[in-house]
Amino acid sequence: MRTISGVLAVSLVGTMGLIAVPAQADPKPPVIPSQSTVDAAKKAAAAKAAQVNAIEQQLAGAGARLEQLGVQAAKAGEVYNGAMYRLQQAQAEAKAAGDRAARAEKTLAAQRQQIGRFAAASYQGGGDLAKLGPLFTANGPQELLDSAGAARSVSQAMQGSYLRYTASQVVTNAFKIQKDQAVTKVQAATDEAAKAKQAAEAAEAEQRSAVASIGAQRRQQIAQLAVLRNTSVQVATQRQRGLEELARQRAAALAAKKAEELRRRIAAREAAEARAAREEAARKAREERNNNKHQGSKKKPKKHQPSKGGGGNDGGSGHNSRGARAAIDFALAQLGEPYIWAAAGPSSWDCSGLTMGAWKKAGVQLPHYSVAQYEQIKHISEDDLRPGDLIFWAEDSNDPGTIFHVAMYLGGGRMIHAPRPGRPVTTDSIYYWEAPDFFGRP
């Protein structure tokens, strides 16, 4: 029994030992991607990065495209203003030509009547009726004087009247030709204005359509970015807005730097002018004292009379600083009002309409066309700018005839203007966009 018990005990112990030790499984081989799989993954990652970069560039270009379309619409509007300006000039020219022709025709009719009275007097005095009859036909006077007998039957006074008549006839015919040419010019200008209007309407429609379509594309592209970056659309939108705001701030900082450089140049010029004025006044005072001393005069020297003209740091465009202040105040009162091409108030404006309305408030008449505005004001340099002066942009910086935008200078490198469709009357650095090309003072 003891032997059996011992054997059982050993068997149980062995069994317990077997149960406590689990079986060891063979290790699984590691997953090792093939080189082709790795290459494919790298290619996919590069493609995703390229897609992200392409979409980001498209988003950046979308804003620039909208700005470009807005500028094109504003340019088209200003072309229309130019066409209307030329039409008004042609109409005024045609009216003047018509008035001249009418006055000449009236003078001619009076002289024709005078010749008729001479003929009647000659007839009553026994003149040859057969010779005088042609006077009453369309080419009467000429046919009469062309005949040899007429010279003997018509008095010297009548011949003098006829000479005046023929001279007036030449002038009248010339005026009639001018009138016809002016009428033709009016028709051509009318056609030009109609075409310019259609072009402006088309440009505005294109810009308005692009705002909607680019807005939809923008939302779609941001959603694609969110998928590619494994982020939410909200996060992708915030990132894009942040990038665009950063770009705007950098551009604004650069514009502010340029504006500050301009402010310093203007301040240096004004300081030099003030110093020169003081030195000139002191020189004149010394000369006057010396003259009084040599002449032994007991008269007191005249006090220096300050210049009545505008100038200095308080502004002073045009006739005087008061006029410039009135123009600036009017323009600032329009802040926030919408841009509409060809508009000149009272509650919507285009670029030249705003500057025309502002300076009209100051008593200065300007045409509703930026090119003509520059033609009719004093031309100055950038460093001569004073508040109220006008700033112009052109397609060709050497040709004022290509001017397409105008703004009003406020001082400190800033301006007020009606920029383009979609942007209301606002203030900006004069360098917020492209550097201006021409400058003038009403």
The set of catalytic residues is 351, 405, 417
Indicate the SS3 state at residue 398.
coil
Alpha helix segments (H runs only) across 334-398: 351-361, 370-375
Amino acid at 184: T
Task: Assess contact for 432 and 252: CB atoms under 8 A.
Answer: yes
Residue 379 pairs in a beta bridge with 440
Task: Assess contact for 351 and 406: CB atoms under 8 A.
Answer: yes
Cα separation, 418 vs 422, whole angstroms: 10
Cα separation, 233 vs 238, whole angstroms: 9
Residue 123: both structure tokens together = 């007839």
Residue 47: both structure tokens together = 């493609």
Counting other chains too, the contacts that 47-51 makes at CB distance below 8 Å and 24 or more residues apart are 48/228, 51/224, 51/228
Residue 398: both structure tokens together = 């050497």
Residue 290: both structure tokens together = 């010396």
Cα separation, 402 vs 395, whole angstroms: 5
**C-alpha 42 chain-centroid distance:** 51
Cα separation, 350 vs 420, whole angstroms: 7
